[in-house]
């Protein structure tokens, strides 16, 4: 796993000496694996520091993961912050996934700035990138994917995705090996019926080898369109 993460870090210059990184930890396997991997250390010349940030959505009716995550943060010995999720009270706007995600990201960015972090690491992986591409094709008619790195607020905060070359299967295997348990009652109650979930189920209907080829082809197409600077000849490594 560190091999694929180090590859992403090198190709997209995700982490450099002196970075202070806020890792968004939702409580799911992807973000927990990301935090664990970054604490183990990626291969860069120099050092960086990590702070775990969990956006607590209990005030808007989401499951309370703080009692699960706080002991784990302490066990890891990582600096952490619990940032409350606040959603503007506007009855004209439905509490849908877009609104929730927007306000979560806003809370995470504010926490990162308050904690003196110049980068925010998110746990999106190779399968997320493929699903995002399929969603954009289906709903917007555009060929876009998740960016491994993107600057916000004139470069004050940079979002990075170190797991962009790591598959969900690898992440699930690692989480299982660590003995982490994710009870269904702690998941978002809307997660199973979102547009993203439908495309995830569609992608899951393919066998591993087919899914790997789909991932690689979609990634390669988006690289050409978006001109992401990387080595196209190694894109098939997404299948690993």
**Residue 134 bridge partners (DSSP):** none
Domain ranges, ordered by start, for the chain: 2-239
| Average pLDDT score, the chain | 86
H-type helices in 25-96, by residue range?
Answer: 29-40, 66-76
List, in sequence order, the alpha helices (H) in the chain. Answer: 2-12, 29-40, 66-76, 97-114, 126-140, 168-177, 195-204, 208-226
Please give the angle made by the CA atoms of 9, 47 and 177, to the nearest 5 degrees. 60
pLDDT tens figures, 110-132: 999 999 999 999 999 999 999 99
pLDDT of residue 226: 58
Three-class SS state of 155: coil
- At 93-102, the pLDDT tens digits run 556 677 788 8
CATH for 2-239 (3.40.50.10860, 3.40.605.10, 3.40.50.620, 3.30.70.60) = 3.40.50.620
Is there a contact between 160 and 148 (Cβ–Cβ < 8 Å)?
A: yes
Whether the full predicted model's pTM is greater than 0.75, yes or no, is: yes
């Amino acid at each position: 796993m560190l091999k694929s993460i180090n590859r992403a870090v090198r190709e997209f210059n995700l982490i450099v000496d002196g970075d202070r990184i806020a890792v968004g930890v939702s409580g799911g396997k992807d973000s927990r694996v990301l935090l664990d991997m970054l604490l183990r250390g990626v291969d860069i010349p120099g050092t960086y520091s990590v702070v775990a940030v969990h956006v607590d959505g209990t005030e808007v009716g989401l499951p309370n993961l703080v009692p699960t995550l706080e002991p784990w943060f302490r066990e890891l010995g990582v600096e952490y912050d619990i940032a409350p999720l606040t959603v503007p009270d506007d009855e004209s706007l439905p509490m849908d996934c877009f609104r929730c995600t927007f306000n979560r990201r806003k809370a995470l960015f504010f926490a990162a700035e308050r904690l003196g972090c110049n980068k925010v690491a998110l746990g999106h992986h190779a399968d997320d990138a493929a699903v995002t591409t399929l969603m954009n094709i289906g709903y917007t008619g555009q060929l876009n994917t998740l960016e491994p790195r993107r600057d916000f607020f004139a470069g004050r905060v940079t979002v990075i995705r170190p797991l962009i070359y790591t598959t969900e299967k690898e992440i699930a295997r690692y989480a299982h090996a660590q003995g982490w348990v994710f009870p269904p009652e702690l998941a978002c109650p809307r997660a199973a019926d979102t547009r993203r979930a439908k495309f995830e189920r569609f992608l899951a209907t393919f066998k591993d080898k087919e899914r790997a080829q789909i991932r690689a082809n979609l990634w390669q197409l988006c690289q050409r369109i978006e001109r992401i600077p990387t080595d196209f000849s190694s894109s098939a490594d997404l299948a690993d």
